[in-house]
Amino acid sequence: MKAEEEQQRRRLCDYCDDAVALLYCRADSAKLCLACDREVHSTNQLFSKHTRSQLCDACDASPASIFCETEHSVFCQNCDWERHRLSLSPPHNRRPIEGFTDYPSVAELVTILGFEDLGEKKTLFLGEEGDGLSGPELDGSGFDDGYSDLFVWDSPAVISLDDLIVSSDSGHNFQALGVPPLPKGRNTSSAS
């Protein structure tokens, strides 16, 4: 139980310091829960341009850039490298993921985060009593906005990251380009 408490503490929202953070804002260098993300990034047009991503499931501190379908997890570049570089098991089905800007509607956010079949699944972060997330935005005190159902993870059908990698054999048919000439007035000799 202590490890679970530590992970939840590491994943607390930097803004409210109460709810579980799911997103990372690069411009603010902050981990945010969905309620605080909405509060911060919907206040003005400039803030809505900040790129936000899901938080890495391994380190809980960096923006995720890879989705591993095999592990049903998202990873930052460093954690993905550490987990998959020496994998002795069959290759995992992985794909790159992108962040989002503006403030998407609930339906758009579901698509961006890859959630499906919300009504048929349990939430990812259940409380001890199994009653869902805790915190001021989800405890019935006013702010729910339909986001409590978004903590369910199911991956859409995707292509493998291996499909995007070009082989390194010498049969690639690339040709070397010539070196461009120096700008006029430049002397290549070092006579002084």
Write out the two tokens for 71. 């592990």
Reported as half-sphere exposure (CB side, CA atoms, 13 A), residue 4 has a value of 5
| Distance between CA atoms of residues 29 and 17, nearest Å | 15
Question: Among 38, 5, 14, which Cα is nearest to 127's?
Answer: 5
- Evaluate whether residue 116 is within a structural domain: yes
- Evaluate whether residue 154 is within a structural domain: yes
- Evaluate whether residue 171 is within a structural domain: no
- Evaluate whether residue 104 is within a structural domain: yes
Highest mean pLDDT among 3-17, 75-89, 175-189: 75-89
- Evaluate whether residue 14 is within a structural domain: yes
Distance of CA 81 to the CA centre of its chain: 15
- Count of structural domains within the chain: 1
Cα–Cα distance list, 24 to 28, 37, 157, 161, 182 (Å): 8, 9, 25, 23, 45
Average pLDDT, the chain: 69
Instruction: Quickly tell me which residue has 């369910």 as its tokens.
Output: 152
The DSSP-derived string for 41-99 is HTSSTTGGGS-EEEBPTTTSSSB--EEETTTTEEE-HHHHHHHHTT--SSPP-EEE---
The predicted-structure confidence for 20-71, as pLDDT tens digits, reads as follows 898 899 888 899 888 888 888 888 778 878 888 888 988 988 999 888 888 8
Q: Position 164: which residue type?
A: L
Q: Which residues contact 134 (CB under 8 A, 6 or more apart)?
A: 19, 127
Q: Which residues contact 133 (CB under 8 A, 6 or more apart)?
A: 19, 20, 123, 125, 127, 148, 151
Which pLDDT does position 95 carry in this prediction?
85
The predicted-structure confidence for 74-112, as pLDDT tens digits, reads as follows 889 899 888 877 766 677 888 888 878 876 666 776 666
- Evaluate whether residue 143 is within a structural domain: yes
Domain that holds residue 15: 2-55+94-159
Which pLDDT does position 38 carry in this prediction?
84
- Evaluate whether residue 89 is within a structural domain: no
Residue 139: pLDDT over 50: no
- Evaluate whether residue 84 is within a structural domain: no
Which pLDDT does position 142 carry in this prediction?
43
